[in-house]
Amino acid sequence: MGGEERTSADVIVRDVRWDDFNDLREIYYRLYEERERGEPIGITLHAERPSLSDEVEWFGHAYRGVLSGDEVISVADVSGRVVGSCHIRRLGPAATSESAHVAVLGIVVGAPYRGRGIGEALMRHALERSRGKFEVIRLQVFSINERAQRLYRRIGFVPCGHHPRAVRRGGQYFDEEEMVLLLDSFPGKGAKD
């Protein structure tokens, strides 16, 4: 794997490792706590928090995807602890499918580390690592999450669709925006648009 980049004195963005599982699971589980407190998290979750067994299965599948080239996972490491991740996963069922050139991006940063530029560093690292694997990167973002949309636009994503009532959380609905990046237009390492 490889691909390590120091973004500040205390943050290293690097490729995922097998032993990152517990930190990644903890970040994900904390999203359920945020949702329970009524905080406006912008990630679609399951109705109930997945079991440890479910998370092991998810991580095993994702890690196999990294090894096979169907997925890129970048993580932000602060003092040896993962505090965020960016996943870019092939949309098509196989590298030989007609949609194999398209991938879907997902990102999460633990609450105490948001607003520090970690999300942007994660995305730039993952996009750079996606060169030669994918051509088109898609993502969906809650319409109310204007901060994230500004970040995505700064990186080069452009809006390409709107999904009304895409997420139902309790009795509340959230619209989502679809955005896309043609990877050959991504400026790459060190560029700040």
Which are the contacts of 62, defined by CB distance < 8 A and separation ≥ 6? 16, 71, 73, 87, 89
Per-residue model confidence (pLDDT) at position 6: 62
Nearest alpha carbon to residue 182 among 118, 130, 147, 145: 130
Nearest alpha carbon to residue 8 among 62, 78, 85: 78
> Distance (Å, rounded) from C-alpha 113 to C-alpha 129?
23
Average pLDDT value over all residues in the chain: 89
Nearest alpha carbon to residue 152 among 185, 176, 188, 124: 124
Instruction: Give the DSSP H/E element, type plus range, for residue 143.
Output: none
Per-residue model confidence (pLDDT) at position 123: 96
Amino acid in the structure at residue 153: R
> Distance (Å, rounded) from C-alpha 144 to C-alpha 148?
9
Tens digits of per-residue pLDDT, 25-71?
999 999 888 888 877 677 778 888 899 999 999 999 999 999 999 99
User: Phi/psi at 170 (nearest 5 deg)?
Assistant: 65, -125
Q: Is 97 helix (H, G, I), strand (E, B) or coil?
A: coil
How far CA 63 is from CA of 13, 22, 67, 122, in Å, comes to 17, 14, 6, 17
> Distance (Å, rounded) from C-alpha 72 to C-alpha 89?
6
pLDDT band for position 190 (cuts 50, 70, 90): very low
Structural domains of the chain, with CATH: 5-185 (3.40.630.30)
- Residue with the larger pLDDT of the pair 189 and 162: 162
Tens digits of per-residue pLDDT, 123-140?
999 999 999 999 999 999
